Amino acid sequence: MNRHLLKTLLKPIFCLLLLISTGLTSFAQKSISDSVISVSHIDFMYALQIPSGDLADRFGFFHGIGGGFFHKGKNNFEYGGGATFLFGTQIRERTIIDNLLTQNSTILDSDGRAANLLVSMRGWQFRVNIGKVFSLNKPNPNSGILVRAGIGFMQHKIRVEDRQVNTPQLAWPYQKGYDRLTNGVMLTQFIGYQIYSNTKLVNFYAGIEFNEAFTRNRRPYNFSEKRQDTDTRFDSSVGFKFGWMIPIYKRAPKAFYYE
């Protein structure tokens, strides 16, 4: 995904978030500036992830865009979960199509010309979390240091795209022998700072997220290696994460007065 396309996608999303967030501010039941409130929120997030462990042998840094749903109680504990779509263009494991290369280090399409291939990273993460906001009373008791921990599932693969759709060696289902589809259970931790603004217009969190996934290759055969990959993997990463929160406040009750 190039930079221009990413900006095109994100601009209307952030505009929509601002409009929704503004519209929801009239539903607050208590003053957020002086009370710890119970509130649910929808999250939209972006993360720049730096791989480590076995994941660093396959990919360079990659991006994550996703969303989730959380509920924060009056004791500032919160729970919820979400999903993240992963994508990137830095591929370090370049040997996956070595068996298709000619003596000139090219791959030929069905017309005998050099194939036009695009190799990228694709994946996703799903997680459930529990956490707590440690209030510093600035700007209000609902804001502070946010700590989360959770468990989830991670999947990733190397996407080999034939841009001319003219290379039968990489057509479906032969792609399965090259994409290194890998998944497994993931642990995740986050530490950062979360802000509920007193005006209820700007609500976000930012910090560092750590992921540790215990994975395996799920394809029955790797064509380039001429074998089945049954090795266990430790796919870890550190992410710089930013999330925009849309709070869902309870509607304030109507007051009735009797003489």
Per-residue pLDDT of the chain (259 residues; tens, 9 = 90+): 555 555 555 555 555 555 544 444 444 445 677 788 899 999 999 999 999 999 999 999 999 999 999 999 999 999 999 999 999 999 999 888 777 877 666 777 777 777 778 889 999 999 999 999 999 888 889 999 999 999 999 999 999 888 777 787 777 888 888 899 999 999 999 999 999 888 777 899 999 999 999 999 999 999 888 888 899 999 999 999 999 999 887 655 454 444 4
Q: What ranges make up the beta strands (E) of 136-202?
A: 144-162, 182-196
pLDDT number for residue 3 = 59
Q: Is the pTM of this model over 0.75?
A: yes
State which fold the 3-248 domain adopts. Answer: Porin (2.40.160)
Q: Which residues lie across from 87 on neighbouring strands? A: 63, 122
Predicted pLDDT of residue 28: 44
Q: Where are the domains of the chain?
A: 3-248
DSSP 24-66: HGGG--S-TTTS---EEEEEEEEEEEEEEETHHHHB--EEEEE
